[in-house]
Amino acid sequence: MLCKSIVILIIAFLGFNVTSSQTQITVDSFKNCTISLSKLSDKTYNRYAPVYFKKGILYAQDKIGAKEGIGTKLMYARLVKSKTTGYKKGIVFLQDNEKYKNVGPAATDGNSTKLYFTANHPKPFNLMNNEAIYKLSIYEMDMKRNKTKLMFFNNNEFNCMHPTVSKNGKMMIFSTDEVGGVGNSDLYVCYRYGKSWSNPEVLGEYVVNSSSRDVFPYIIDDETIVFASDRPEGYGKLDLYLIKKVGKEKWSVPENMGPKINSEEDDFGLIVDKEQNMGIFTSKRNGGVDQLFEFHLATK
């Protein structure tokens, strides 16, 4: 009986280690990945910054050449598994124009109980600066109660945008062009304690953020974050970078994710499904519009 217990413990231990090594995401994970254009892409629309949500994905969309005021819409596409696995045609997710303007991109926790999204306030003079420019803000929606509220840190003098939330819903990272940061747009982090959020602080300070734009973050797991930046050492305009946690609230120096993922154009809005070793990201490498690309990571 004792021998059997020891064998079970050894198997469990080995199984844990194998799983951990398979799900470890680093820059090297993307060196030999395969990339293909998603069927959700369309030459007449910018479609960008996806996030996994329930049995599909949410993504932001705006029409090329649309009249001023049409704005960004948050779209939902359901994943269908049949002979050819893929996403159904996207539909508008939030249609109430009296509550939201220019909606997207969005984020959600692991259970999809809370939804966080970027939008302009629809009411005149709300979150508008002295130059009559409406600022982007972050909303929190309780999916069970269908109730939405503005996050407390929004301000009419700067944009708060591109939220991402950890699976347990206790950490949020977003981008803002608040005066006093490191660069043009910086990544900030705040934490949920009970029903309240802490005051946002610069993520990693000068280690993570640059004097350029740092935008579109995504929390892959508690130890790994990807984001986009147009800092000068990249391959093109916006490039994707990866950071790893190295201590309590401390992060590594951002590492460019390489020429396979990055191009001479904008590359941003990357998400990863670690269980399937695949994901989606946004790129303008084909010219004209932001398109969604799917990638599969090479497995050992």
| CATH value at residue 38 | 2.115.10.20
Residue 15 lies in a domain: no
Q: Does residue 21 form part of some domain?
A: no
**Would you say residue 81 lies in a domain?**
yes
What single string gives the DSSP state of each residue in 10-29?
Answer: HHHHHHHHHHHHHT---GGG
pLDDT digits (tens), the chain, 300 positions: 444 444 334 333 334 333 344 468 999 999 999 999 999 998 889 999 999 999 999 999 998 765 544 689 999 999 886 555 688 899 999 877 667 888 999 999 988 899 999 998 766 656 566 555 778 999 999 998 889 999 999 998 899 999 999 999 999 999 999 987 888 999 999 999 998 999 999 998 789 999 999 999 999 999 999 999 999 989 989 999 999 999 888 999 999 999 999 999 999 999 999 998 999 999 999 988 999 999 999 876
Domain-located, residue 12: no
What pLDDT score was predicted for residue 23?
A: 65
On whether residue 7 sits in a domain, the answer given is no
Q: Is residue 208 part of a domain?
A: yes
Does 136 reside within a domain? yes
Task: Using alpha carbons only, give the angle 268, 111, 81 rounded to the nearest 5 degrees.
Answer: 70
> Among 296, 259, 268, which Cα is nearest to 47's?
268
How high is the pLDDT of residue 153?
A: 95
Question: Does 272 reside within a domain?
Answer: yes
For 19, counting Cβ atoms within 10 Å of its Cβ (0-12 exposed, 13-18 middle, 19+ buried), the class is: exposed
d(CA 298, CA 194): 40
Q: Cβ–Cβ contacts within 10 Å for residue 171, how many?
A: 19
User: How many CB atoms sit inside 10 A of residue 57's CB?
Assistant: 22
- Which tokens sit at 202? 């610069």
**Which domain, by its residues, includes 97?**
29-296
Query: Looking at residue 194, what DSSP letter applies?
Result: T
What is the Cα–Cα distance from 128 to 135, expressed in whole angstroms?
Answer: 6
How many domains would you assign to the chain?
1
Question: Residue with structure tokens 């930046």?
Answer: 229
